[in-house]
Structure 1
């Protein structure tokens, strides 16, 4: 065990190496090297206030993500895959915005590496999706994937994972369907439900039990607001969803979707 820990510590101490990022769209695919992105004609130095991952202001060399997504349409869908199994489901529309909340691909320079995210952890590199003016677009923490290894265009979540769908008899604007949209935005990057999804970080939220079945009263909402206030341990990864990110009205819709799906269990 000591030898394994020593090797892990050595790995963390190694200098950051150049990396590559493949962006796969339906009509084109391109692999970018760190050096090429750092020298990209649209690369800029961006200042991020209250960085979601570092919990402080940060400065990055970054490229507007929209310029790396040629031909993508606002109705399209992307997935950003991280080295740890985090799979962020991303609607294309906010990624293509050039005003208000704007998405950037931050690129870690091997000669000037970013700080570690925490003790005994690596940095957010080699690539990190960050946002300027995120409050203008109601951007959630799950839309800030770090340690990104690839970005690919996929069919929508509903098309790929029918086990996530609410009762088809419900109208499109039913609160449960509104909650489903919020689940995709805020939860699916880490969690599966009914075994459906690509994430490998958090537990399934319906099999064997849905959290609405074992969190009584308002405890589930309190847990989503601040997981560490109810369950605290050093390895905890779930972020807190403050009211500024997930307003009370949306939190109620999200919990409503989960409660609805407790009655629609499907074994994976």
Structure 2
């Protein structure tokens, strides 16, 4: 799945274009969904049908929102044929921006995020939904990434460092950067859908605003990412995602104090000012 800084910046500069939706049958009565599953898609014809079927199975009252951005392989039409609500954008926006757009359109009291290129069983996503039903505001995948190496990936380090800076070290590397994760309607309103375009920043906003953020269930999404990195000869997104974490830290410092609510201990800075 493409993730694009340019896509993020373009989306921030303008309101998203109108969306194309699958029409309701004549005379049907719309029922407000409990769960909205948001799936950004760029040319995922091979997997999108399986992803959507699993998404619809997470709750008996579910809507599936597919954000088809820059898609040219018919993924959107497949999604429509399976009952998903499809939002079309001609350019690739990046999957974080896609989540932000989908969240804005979501009607459910719970919003679950996953990706169109990774098939995750509904049995692994249901615990996230149930956690939110039971009062958790942000239910995270407890996948931490590979931490048992001498040289740890920069994104893994960034996730751990951000949670420590946010005074939530028990979260370790659990992050809104990883899918799947679920938000309550309260969390979505407190964070703002626009902040979802930078997931670590959304996490910082949520924690800073007192939301109940927990790592609730382990889903190994690293296997697919490892295969993708091998094919691409490395991780082209590492710098971008680390930069997202730096943006999150900048927001947190501005929202709290110059040391992010951390004490100076024995330092007396005022003497040298």
Do the two structures share a fold, i.e. TM-score over 0.5? no
Which of the pair is proportionally richer in strand? Answer: 1
Of structures 1 and 2, the one scoring higher in RCO (CA 8 A, sep 6+) is: 2
Looking at secondary structure, tell me which structure has more helix per residue.
2
